[in-house]
């Protein structure tokens, strides 16, 4: 079992604020890191798959960076909107499995 940790566990921000959260993962035998967004009453949806150290990916106001040597990834949300409220999961592939972190639950207050 691989240890994938996310912090903070939950976060409340005001609409318009920018925010970021962290995913920590084992730095050895790395080959990919996934970010998923999971809205209440829906299914998880893939945001990014990151594979290279120093990778930076962007989708609209959401971006992510990757540091494989120190074993962490940051997810940034610029100008948070109420529709960004969701749980953000990172996941680390093992040999034949994807180990999910427990997620960061983001609430954006209008």
Partner 1 sequence: DSGVTQTPKHLITATGQRVTLRCSPRSGDLSVYWYQQSLDQGLQFLIQYYNGEERAKGNILERFSAQQFPDLHSELNLSSLELGDSALYFCASSVATEYEQFFGPGTRLTVL
Contact set with partner 1 (CB under 8 A):
31-32, 34, 36, 43-46, 49, 51, 89, 91, 93-103
- CA dihedral sign of residues 69, 34, 29, 26: positive
Least separation in angstroms between CB 31 and partner 1: 6
d(CA 85, CA 71): 26
Q: Are 48 and 59 in contact (CB under 8 A)?
A: yes
Residue closer to partner 1 (CB basis): 83 or 95: 95
Least separation in angstroms between CB 62 and partner 1: 15
Residue closer to partner 1 (CB basis): 74 or 93: 93
């Amino acid at each position: 079992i691989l240890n994938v940790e996310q912090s903070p566990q939950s976060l409340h921000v005001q609409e318009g604020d920018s925010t970021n959260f962290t995913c920590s993962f084992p730095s050895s035998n790395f080959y990919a890191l996934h970010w998923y967004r999971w809205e209440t009453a829906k299914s998880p949806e893939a945001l990014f798959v990151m594979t290279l150290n120093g990778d930076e990916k962007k989708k609209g106001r959401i971006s992510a960076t990757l540091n494989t040597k120190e074993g962490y990834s940051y997810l940034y949300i610029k100008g948070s909107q109420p529709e960004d409220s969701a749980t953000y999961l990172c996941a680390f592939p093992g040999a034949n499995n994807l180990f999910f972190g427990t997620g960061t639950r983001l609430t954006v207050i209008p």
